[in-house]
């Protein structure tokens, strides 16, 4: 756009220079009649009018392009603002949801792995959560072993002659 107006400016300056040159030639020649002078002036006026009209049309076209580009940019800016507001709301919602998950997981972890008050090192919620599955598995395994041995003891107490040796291999 800047180049276009620069080109128009140069072209206008060239027209002015040519007009001055023709005017100087007319001043120097003393044998020109008033009718000849009027004809030359009329021709120059027509040329200038056509050039001015062309320049104005080009300016109007450039201004329309600028308005269109500005409207597009404004629309994109409005869309970006709307997206940013939606993203900020989503971040806020996800942050609240994350906090809820942290609180719920802390309650579950405290059931599986209670915090010892005298513990010198404070472990993060994530490390406690990672260890909780192992501790829960160990707890379930030890509880199952305890119940199985109790059940087998009861079977042996009521049925003394039952051979439980095949079960000890498992």
Residue 162: left (phi > 0), alpha (psi -120 to 50), or beta?
A: beta
Say if residues 126 and 103 touch (Cβ distance below 8 Å): no
Q: Mean pLDDT lowest for which of 32-41, 92-101, 133-142, 143-152? A: 32-41
pLDDT at residue 169, rounded to an integer: 65
pTM above 0.75, yes or no: no
Top pLDDT among 14 and 114 is at: 14
Domain regions of the chain by residue span? 124-170
Top pLDDT among 166 and 146 is at: 146
């Amino acid at each position: 756009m800047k180049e276009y107006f620069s080109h128009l400016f140069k072209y206008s300056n060239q027209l002015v220079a040519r007009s001055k040159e023709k005017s100087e030639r007319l001043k120097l020649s003393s044998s020109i009649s008033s009718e000849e002078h009027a004809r030359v002036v009329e021709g120059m006026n027509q040329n200038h009018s056509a050039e001015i009209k062309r320049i104005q049309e080009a300016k109007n076209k450039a201004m329309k392009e600028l308005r269109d580009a500005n409207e597009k940019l404004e629309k994109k800016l409005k869309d970006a603002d709307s997206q940013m507001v939606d993203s900020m709301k989503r971040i806020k919602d996800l942050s609240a949801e994350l906090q809820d998950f942290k609180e719920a997981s802390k309650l579950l972890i405290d059931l599986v792995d209670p915090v010892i008050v005298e513990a010198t090192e404070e472990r993060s919620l994530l490390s406690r959560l990672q260890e909780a599955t192992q501790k829960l598995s160990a707890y379930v395994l030890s509880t199952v072993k305890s119940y199985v041995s109790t059940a087998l003891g009861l079977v042996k107490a009521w049925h003394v002659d039952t051979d439980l040796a095949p079960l000890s291999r498992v």
